[in-house]
Structure 1
């Protein structure tokens, strides 16, 4: 993957801060998502998408698919506007989403394992800006 540009990072940060990536603000609009996130059933993946941490159920799959479809649409639009690939933009957004997790929430570490966020900084992909 090519080096992620500062404009892609800035756009991803804006997307996260505006709630374009399913953030805690989005959770307030979807109680099922909020409950799954709080229970550690879903977490932020390194690639910018939401993942299922526990055994998959149809309800969890529906929640995750819905959010990931919305994220991909945002990533596609913003990547195009910033002359980046969707993958570059999604990775940058994932870096920011993982950084924005709160203690107790799940996130994917660089080795692919699911971790529970503590008060310490989360483990992030070395490609993160």
Structure 2
């Protein structure tokens, strides 16, 4: 296991907390929850949400707002841990893909392809 992989695994321990903070924003929104359930909105390996299918301006704005909140939560934690924002966000993305994406929901791996979960997600090698 490389030093950077060990570092990311260590960071991932704190990822659940940060993901919980970032995820709380959309847990309360019925329209966004419906878009997630319909596979319109999904989680990405980079730690952010994205549009897997065309969506209304309202849903896009909600996804953008959540991503802004996530970035705001990820940035100080990345600085505190001495890693880049992208590294920390990807560590969160690994935890999110592994634990929060439900069957039938959309997700995107680093290859950019949107998929629908129908069993365990084959996480990218960068997840360790």
TM over 0.5: yes
How far 1:26 sits from its partner (Å)?
4.3
Equivalent pairs counted in the alignment come to 123
Moved beyond 3 Å, runs of 4+: 25-28
Distance in 1 (CA, whole Å) between partners of 2:84 and 2:103 is 31
Residue 56 of structure 2: aligned partner: 57
Distance in 2 (CA, whole Å) between partners of 1:21 and 1:59 is 19
Q: What RMSD in Å do the two structures reach over aligned CA positions?
A: 1.8
Question: TM-score w.r.t. structure 2 length?
Answer: 0.86
More helix by share: 2
Query: Secondary structure of the equivalent of 1:44?
Result: strand
8 Å contact kept, 1:110–1:123? no
**Aligned counterpart in structure 2 of residue 10 of structure 1, from 9, 13, 30:** 13
What CA deviation, in whole Å up to 9, does each residue of 1:28-58 have, x standing for no partner?
3111221111111100111110000111431
Residue 105 of structure 1: aligned partner: 105
How far 1:83 sits from its partner (Å)?
1.4
Structure 2 unaligned blocks of 5 or more: none
How far 1:123 sits from its partner (Å)?
2.4
Residue 86 of structure 1: aligned partner: 85
Structure 1 unaligned blocks of 5 or more: none
Question: TM-score w.r.t. structure 1 length?
Answer: 0.85
